[in-house]
A and B are shown apart, each in its own frame.
Chain A
């Protein structure tokens, strides 16, 4: 959860949660539906490309709705982690809660570049160029290390 590597998939600024998973796909508990349609309204070709990849977004990643299906869709579609210059706050907290690493850092992105991150040490690397990542709060570190809020909760009981 705290470290990961993968090829970069670059997204722009202000990618909203409607673009990540549209309202028309929300009424189900079947997570594979969300993974199948993830990012469809931004670019239908993205879903297969993000498996095993690290999304590198710009500013205000995940703005809009609180829908947790957005982070679950990305996780289920195989995203290793999301690096962004900044995140919308509910999306950020949701990602940690479902065990999807989020890394706040300013990096240049080229599709396919080799990305690595280490949240324990607080850095992200793109094609060997290392940048500092903004540290997560201690509580978020604990939740992410546990694999998300549900496993964290179970481990506390």
Chain B
């Protein structure tokens, strides 16, 4: 019996395959290099523009004249080549692709390491570099080494204040930053069906922090319902009983709020152990935790109260923002004293909009806390939204107590 990656790629683990891709996307950062590579390759006609996407998310709106010029060139290229462009304000590429573009069974490549996020929909989704993307845009296909698979067997249900992000951090801590290099993580077990689509996207998003090629969930009723909400019909994927390279078990009922401390994603402590750490900024957003459920969770905790440190909230997409407006979630967040920035990556990669100063500390719901990532000399702690929310209110790292 095959793993889901083997089934989608059509070959056993270890095999090299050439595969047509269903969706291939780049963003404003990698898209510039992809365009340059296409120019150097002498490629003028793209054979399958309908499979290609450009999403402006990394520095939106543009912060400097240089950035604006690079984006203008890319915008012009998209128009001339017939590539669908999600322009500034539309949201983060992975989130936009999850909103009715990617479907179960697809082969998806993105010029961004967190493309693995989209495995949450039962697709084989992985990140590639810009030149690889250029060759994919030029041919409609690429080569893959079919990965071995590590099963992450989820049992039980999350309880108390723990949320999928805490499971993701637990998973990274268990496997380590290279524990799954070249491999796929397949999230299975009784506990998997109880995790929402937003939660699955969070879990798959952080698969790459273990070195994995992708994280993947089987499409089930949750997937079908999610896609139906975006006007897309889909079917569940049958769960076979594949042979995994290895298996790790995570009991969801035992998960407590966790924090990854500087400067490694796999140095994970219980939030309890780092409570009281002073912070200068809280950042809620990114392709890990900028979804509607995340914003709703934040709103529930800060409603009617005031944050004690500057708190930046960046919705993952326009659809997320619109829903947060419609339900009143956004008003609660703004009334509590949070700043809200347009949908996109925000300061996650240290390029603009909320970067940190020397010696400052950020508690972030993102996926990476590498040294200097959000600013030279700044420190990043990573946590769930609930931990970020109670910490924003306390002005220091605090532990959420209720669900």
Give residues in A with beta carbon < 8 Å to B: 14, 16, 18-19, 22-24, 26-29, 41, 59-60, 63-69, 71, 86-90, 93-94, 97-98, 137-139, 148-150, 153-154, 157
Task: Please give the distance in Å from B37's CB to the nearest CB on chain A.
Answer: 6
For B, the interface residue count at a CB cutoff of 8 angstroms equals 47
Instruction: Give Cα A64–Cα B40 distance, bound, in whole angstroms.
Output: 27
Do A18 and B373 touch (CB < 8 A)? yes
Do A88 and B70 touch (CB < 8 A)? no
Tally A-B pairs: CB < 8 A.
124
Most buried by A among B32, B37, B138: B37
Task: Please give the distance in Å from B133's CB to the nearest CB on chain A.
Answer: 9
* Residue B177 at the chain A interface, CB threshold 8 Å: yes
Do B370 and A64 touch (CB < 8 A)? yes
- Contacting A at CB under 8 A, from B171-229, are 177-178, 181-182, 211, 213
Question: Which one, A27, A59, A71, A90, contacts B351 given CB within 8 A?
Answer: A27
Do B30 and A66 touch (CB < 8 A)? yes
B residues near A154, Cβ cutoff 8 Å: 41-42
A65-B368, A67-B129 known, 14 other contacts, Cβ within 8 Å: A14-B177, A26-B351, A28-B70, A63-B177, A66-B30, A66-B113, A68-B30, A69-B33, A71-B129, A88-B178, A88-B181, A93-B132, A137-B16, A148-B131
Which residue from chain A places its CB closest to the CB of B264 in the assembled complex?
A: A14
Question: Which one, B131, B178, B182, B371, contacts A68 given CB within 8 A?
Answer: B131
* Residue B111 at the chain A interface, CB threshold 8 Å: yes
Task: Please give the distance in Å from B136's CB to the nearest CB on chain A.
Answer: 10
Do B182 and A65 touch (CB < 8 A)? no
A66-B131 contact, Cβ under 8 Å, with A27-B351, A41-B371, A60-B181? no
Do A89 and B41 touch (CB < 8 A)? no
A residues near B132, Cβ cutoff 8 Å: 93-94, 97, 149
Task: Please give the distance in Å from B35's CB to the nearest CB on chain A.
Answer: 9
Give residues in B with beta carbon < 8 Å to A: 16, 29-30, 32-33, 36-37, 40-43, 59, 64, 66-67, 70, 111-113, 127-132, 134-135, 138, 143, 145, 177-178, 181-182, 211, 213, 264, 349-351, 355, 368, 370-373, 376
A residues near B370, Cβ cutoff 8 Å: 16, 18-19, 64
A residues near B264, Cβ cutoff 8 Å: 14
Which residue from chain B places its CB closest to the CB of A72 in the assembled complex?
A: B33
Instruction: Give Cα A98–Cα B132 distance, bound, in whole angstroms.
Output: 10
A–B complex contacts, Cβ < 8 Å, 14 sampled: A16-B370, A18-B373, A23-B373, A27-B66, A28-B70, A29-B33, A60-B177, A68-B33, A86-B181, A88-B211, A97-B132, A139-B16, A149-B37, A150-B131
Task: Please give the distance in Å from A52's CB to the nearest CB on chain B.
Answer: 24
B residues near A150, Cβ cutoff 8 Å: 37, 40-41, 131, 134
B residues near A24, Cβ cutoff 8 Å: 350-351, 355
Which residue from chain A places its CB closest to the CB of B351 in the assembled complex?
A: A23
